[in-house]
Amino acid sequence: MLGYWKNETATAETIKDGWLFTGDLGYLDQENYLYVLGRFKSLLISHDGEKYSPEGIEEAIIDHCPTIDQIVLYNNQSPYTVAVAVPARDKIKSLLKQHPQNDEEEKVHFILNQIQQELAQFKKDGKLQNMFPQRWLPTSIAILPEPFTEANKMLNSTMKIVRRVIEVTYNKEIEYLFTPTGKDIMNNHNKLNIRYYLGENDKKN
C-alpha cells in the first residue's frame, strides 16, 4: 500500500516506518498464534481512562440473548456503559405466542422484561457473571426503531457495524440513557419502539 489518495494525514497515521497500522487490537500467544480482539477506534473508554474492546461482549450478548438481534455498546469517558439495540422481531413475536398477554401494554412490558432478564445473565449473580468485567456491561439500553443495514449506512459492505454512524444518528438516545428516566428499560422511548416491532403501532407515530 502506497498511501491514501490526496490524504497525507491518513497516510501518515496508517503507514509508519514501512509498516501498515490496521487499527486492529490483538496479541500473540506463547505459540505465536495471533488473536485479534477488536478495533482501536471501537474501544470503550471509562471515566477514569480505562479502555476495553466491545466486540466480544456484543457477540456474547447476541449469542446468549435471543430477543436481541443487533447491539452496540457505548462508553466515552462516561460513568457507566450503555447500549443501543435492535430486537429480534421473529423471536419476540414467538415468545408472545408461547406466553399470551392480555393487552398491548402487557405485551410491551413482557418483552422489555425478557430483554432485561437475558442481559442479567452477565451481571452479578447471573450464570455468565464471570465472562466480562461488570463495568463494561450495559447499565441501560435503548431499543431502536430500525435495524442496522447497508441502506442506512450502519453496516458496511462486509456487514460490519459502522459505529460512528450509529453514534451520530442516535446521539440523543445515547445521551438519554445517562438520565434517571432513560436508565429504566421501561421508559416511554423503549415502549414505543417495542410496539413498532410487535406491529402494534406505526413507526412514524
Give the C-alpha separation, 163 to 177, whole Å.
Answer: 17
**Location of C-alpha cell 456474547:** 60
Q: Give the amino acid at 59.
A: E
How far apart (Å, rounded) are the C-alpha atoms in residues 193 and 13? 40
Alpha helices in the chain (DSSP H): 8-14, 55-64, 89-98, 104-119, 163-169, 171-176, 180-183, 188-198
Q: Which CATH number fits domain 44-198: 3.30.300.30, 3.50.50.60, 1.25.10.10, 3.20.20.70?
A: 3.30.300.30
Q: Distance between CA 116 and CA 141 in Å, rounded?
A: 9
Per-domain boundaries in the chain: 1-42, 44-198
Identify the pLDDT of residue 1. Answer: 55
The correct answer on CATH 3.40.50.12280 for the domain covering 1-42 is: no
pTM for the structure as a whole: 0.78
| Predicted pLDDT of residue 16 | 66
Q: What integer best gives the mean pLDDT of the chain?
A: 86
Q: What pLDDT, in 10s, does the model give residues 62-105?
A: 999 999 999 999 999 999 999 999 999 999 999 999 999 999 99
Higher pLDDT, 27 or 162: 162
Q: How far apart are CA 26 and CA 17, in angstroms?
A: 20
Strand (E) or helix (H) holding 144: none
The mean per-residue pLDDT over the stretch 25-45 comes to: 64
Residue that has been written with the C-alpha cell 457477540 in this structure: 59
Phi, then psi, of 71 in degrees rounded to 5: -155, 145
In sequence order, the β-bridge partners of residue 140 are 82
pLDDT tier, 40 (very low <50, low <70, confident <90, very high otherwise): very low
The predicted-structure confidence for 165-178, as pLDDT tens digits, reads as follows 999 999 999 999 99
Query: Tell me, what's the pLDDT at 146?
Result: 96
Is it the case that residue 13 has pLDDT exceeding 70?
Answer: no
Query: Is pLDDT above 70 for 12?
Result: no
